Amino acid sequence: MIGLAFLNPLLLWALPLAAVPVIIHILNRRRFKKVPWAAMEFLLKAMKRNRKRLRFEQWLVLLLRVLAVLLLVTLVSRPQLGGGALLGARTHHVVILDDSASMTQRSGSSNLFEKAQDKVRELADELAQRRDGDIFSIALTSTPDAWALAPQRVGSNFGQTAGAALRSLVVSDLSADVGAALRAAVARSAVVDEASRTEFYIVGDRRKWDWSTDDGKPRGQLVEALTSMDRGRAHVTVFEVGGQHDNLAVVQVALLDRLAIASVPVSMGVDVKNFGLDPTPATTVAVGVDGRTSVNLNVPDLAPGERVRVPFAHTFHTPGAHRVEATLTPGGTFSFDDRRTLALQIRDKSRVLLVDGEPDEGDGETFFLRATLDVPESGIEAQVVTESGFDEVNLGAFDMVWLCNVQAPTKEAAERLEAFVMSGGGLAITLGSLVDARRYNELLWRGGEGPLPLPIGDIDGDPDRPASAFLAAADHPVCDGVAELFQLVMGRWVQVKRWLTIEQPDGHEAAVVARVRDAEGPPLLATRSYGVKGGEVALFAITADRFWSNLPSTDLFLVMTHQLHRFAARRDDLSQHNLATDDTWSRQLDPGLYLPDVTLRAAGGDDERTFTATAPLFEGGSEAANGDRDVQAGVASASNAAPVDPPPLEVEVDLRGLSERGAYEVTLQRHDGVTERQILARNGPVDEGRLVAFDEASFKRLYAANVHDLVTFARGEGGVGARASEGEAWPLLAGSLLLGLLLESLLAWRFGRR
């Protein structure tokens, strides 16, 4: 079926003007007065013989003039053909609607997503008027692998159908991948056989972040989508529905300490970034804890692209789950990233293991360490074991381990310590006369491949001529906030009698914090980061007792051990409690301890969901395998074998299905009736705050020339409509008009001469 429509239908009222040439012809015939004369008789006889030919010539020229007027009126009315194969092919119109979080920007009384919906509704109405028989579909950037509106045939009432589908769509709090959405739409539209060409429409805020990377390169997914298109059968039109360029955002609420302990001040920070192209004035950010406490922090002026961290501290008096929220005041037109939440699990104590290599009932290796660490105000709990008892200790229960003059760890002990540091734990080693340097180097240095910061050498120093200590790296994190105290006390009061030489091979990665005597002296304290999880190792060249130095009996020892604990203790893993809106939260439950139902409830919101944990499939995941496992368990029970422990239950929650951002309270029910509560933070994607727009000039600069003609950037606020020339008959009409006028002129000239 061929659908015919006119872009300027009101001009069709001029069609009666086609009678003007006829009227002129009739009037011209009445202008002449008949006067008979002798010579005319011969001409009249000749005309009677050629009357039929003359009339044919007159009517032919008259017909061409009438057709010229008809073609001119029809041409300016711009007729369009749709649906058939005559002049206009059936087209599949694919709308890629940006429903990402950036579309929540306010624009007047509505947001950008509502404006985008209006644009798509306008397109559907226009297609219903002039593209009857075409195909129309909608895809969302948040769900690129599925149609939001499956391909449908355009009809007279299609605008109502599309409008109903659009009303059911809501803007998401997810990030957008325009390239992935376009690529998926290209692949899905290829199977729509009824259409001979495809017109893609990208409707959104047209952000620079969606089209280019931070280093100024085109998005790979977009490049793949454009290059995969059939150049003769596809085209992309990009529409912008408005938006802003400037945006100040809270991009992170961070725990600055490695761990958070109850009744101990916890250092945190709020990161604020200016995503705009212009400087931003000073403002404030309000910080709330558990929805009650609030303090206003000053945010300075920020240059374009500048990011600043505003530090603050808070003391949590009870262990357990807590939440910290930071909110910009006042907020802007894009409130999505004005607020961010941090979920914390506050611990009762931080546990430290002290391994005493020379136990003594009195002033032993760990006496001073235990006295300085295990004080009520520190939040640290120290446990002392001997070298022989170390093998029986579960290191996973501790945040830091001290080896104090331990003679020579076994190979198994060295492997356990290395695994402990690799998992993020802290290790401090104090040396002494019992230490087997060769064994340490062999097991823990390993040519720089092990966790030991530096290799250990021979004993040095003279007890009768003690040397002073020297702070070599005042900017080291161990000295954070107390560098002046370290410099003062080390130079004046600390006396070092003996030490084990710490060698410094070329290319080492260790940081030397303190030295003996001066800046060129042998290392006294060296540290090194080890492992991908940020494990820290500290190596002292002296003992932890007063046998080799007076450091343990000075006030500096208390400060130094606590600073070292803050620097090296195992860092709390907050990633499992702080997730993005499109992440998945998972948790394993012991079926002997917990009920399978897990409840998530938005703090201060109405969203509440209950999820049921299930047993994971047995190795390989097949039902047959699980059935075999049940049979084996039954056989074991029948033969009085040891019972098989039930597998842990596992619950997975796709956070895309939740409706609130911020804190969610997670409730777990135990069989003994006790309710456990945790906090889960669901925060929006940071990159959605990049609101700077992308234009056609940038597209032509970044993308290859072979895709330039595939993309059109629409200008202005007009209707989105199909491409103006698509399916229009004006080329044929204009050619016919030109040909008719030339033919009329030629025939008029030829007939007139005759």
Residue with token string 């007027």: 69
What does residue 553 show for φ and ψ, rounded to 5 degrees? -95, 5
In this structure, the answer to whether residues 149 and 279 fall within a common structural domain is no
CA distance 104 to 92: 29
CA distance 530 to 121: 58
Please choose, from the candidates 151, 125, 119, 156, the residue with its C-alpha nearest in 3D space to the C-alpha of residue 138: 151
CATH number at residue 207: 3.40.50.410
Taking CA 541 as the corner, what is the angle to CA 535 and CA 543, rounded to the nearest 5 degrees?
100
pLDDT band (50, 70, 90) for residue 751? low
* Mean per-residue pLDDT, 119-132: 88
In this structure, the answer to whether residues 73 and 222 fall within a common structural domain is no
Using alpha carbons only, how large is the chain's radius of gyration in Å?
41
Of 259-263, 283-287, 610-614, 620-624, the one with minimum mean pLDDT is 620-624
Query: What does the pLDDT read at residue 721?
Result: 47
In this structure, the answer to whether residues 364 and 465 fall within a common structural domain is yes
| Token digits of residue 436 | 């087997």
| Token digits of residue 206 | 């047209």
Of 37-46, 267-276, 328-337, the one with minimum mean pLDDT is 37-46
Please choose, from the candidates 386, 383, 378, 377, the residue with its C-alpha nearest in 3D space to the C-alpha of residue 409: 386
Residues 6 or more apart in contact with residue 68 via CB below 8 angstroms: 737, 740, 741, 744
Residues 6 or more apart in contact with residue 143 via CB below 8 angstroms: none
In this structure, the answer to whether residues 372 and 488 fall within a common structural domain is yes
In this structure, the answer to whether residues 271 and 215 fall within a common structural domain is no
In a domain, 177, yes or no: yes
Confidence check: pLDDT of 283 > 50: yes
* Mean per-residue pLDDT, 553-562: 93
pLDDT band (50, 70, 90) for residue 623? very low
- Count structural domains, the chain: 4
Give the domain range for residue 253: 248-346
pLDDT band (50, 70, 90) for residue 4? low
Q: Which of 568, 593, 625 is the last residue of a domain?
A: 568
In this structure, the answer to whether residues 171 and 276 fall within a common structural domain is no
> Can you list the alpha helix ranges (DSSP code H) found in 448-547?
483-492
Taking CA 156 as the corner, what is the angle to CA 155 and CA 160, rounded to the nearest 5 degrees?
90
CATH number at residue 322: 2.60.40.10
pLDDT band (50, 70, 90) for residue 87? very low
Looking at residue 693, the DSSP 8-state letter turns out to be B
Choice between 377 and 659, residue whose per-residue pLDDT is larger: 659
In a domain, 284, yes or no: yes
Q: Give 699-710 pLDDT, tens digit per residue.
A: 999 999 999 999
Please choose, from the candidates 566, 244, 211, the residue with its C-alpha nearest in 3D space to the C-alpha of residue 380: 566
CA distance 453 to 527: 6
In this structure, the answer to whether residues 115 and 237 fall within a common structural domain is yes
In this structure, the answer to whether residues 354 and 422 fall within a common structural domain is yes
Q: Report whether 578 contacts 343 (CB < 8 A).
A: yes
The 3-state DSSP class for residue 120 equals: helix
Please choose, from the candidates 325, 330, 327, 361, the residue with its C-alpha nearest in 3D space to the C-alpha of residue 343: 325
CA distance 670 to 653: 20
pLDDT band (50, 70, 90) for residue 753? low
Choice between 2 and 209, residue whose per-residue pLDDT is larger: 209
CA distance 92 to 236: 12
* Mean per-residue pLDDT, 504-530: 95
Q: Which of 316, 346, 376 is the last residue of a domain?
A: 346
In the chain, % helix, strand, coil (3-state, to 5) comes to: 35, 30, 35
Of 544-548, 567-571, 716-720, the one with minimum mean pLDDT is 716-720
In this structure, the answer to whether residues 429 and 562 fall within a common structural domain is yes
What does residue 26 show for φ and ψ, rounded to 5 degrees? -65, -45
CATH number at residue 430: 3.40.50.880
pLDDT band (50, 70, 90) for residue 467? very high
Q: Give 165-197 pLDDT, tens digit per residue.
A: 999 999 999 998 999 999 999 999 988 888 889
In a domain, 715, yes or no: yes
Q: Which of 296, 322, 346 is the last residue of a domain?
A: 346
Residues 6 or more apart in contact with residue 474 via CB below 8 angstroms: 483, 486, 487
Q: Give 292-343 pLDDT, tens digit per residue.
A: 878 999 999 999 999 999 999 999 999 999 999 999 998 778 999 999 999 9
Q: Give 563-578 pLDDT, tens digit per residue.
A: 999 999 999 999 999 9
Confidence check: pLDDT of 424 > 70: yes
In this structure, the answer to whether residues 32 and 125 fall within a common structural domain is no
Dihedral of alpha carbons 200, 729, 3, 12, sign: positive
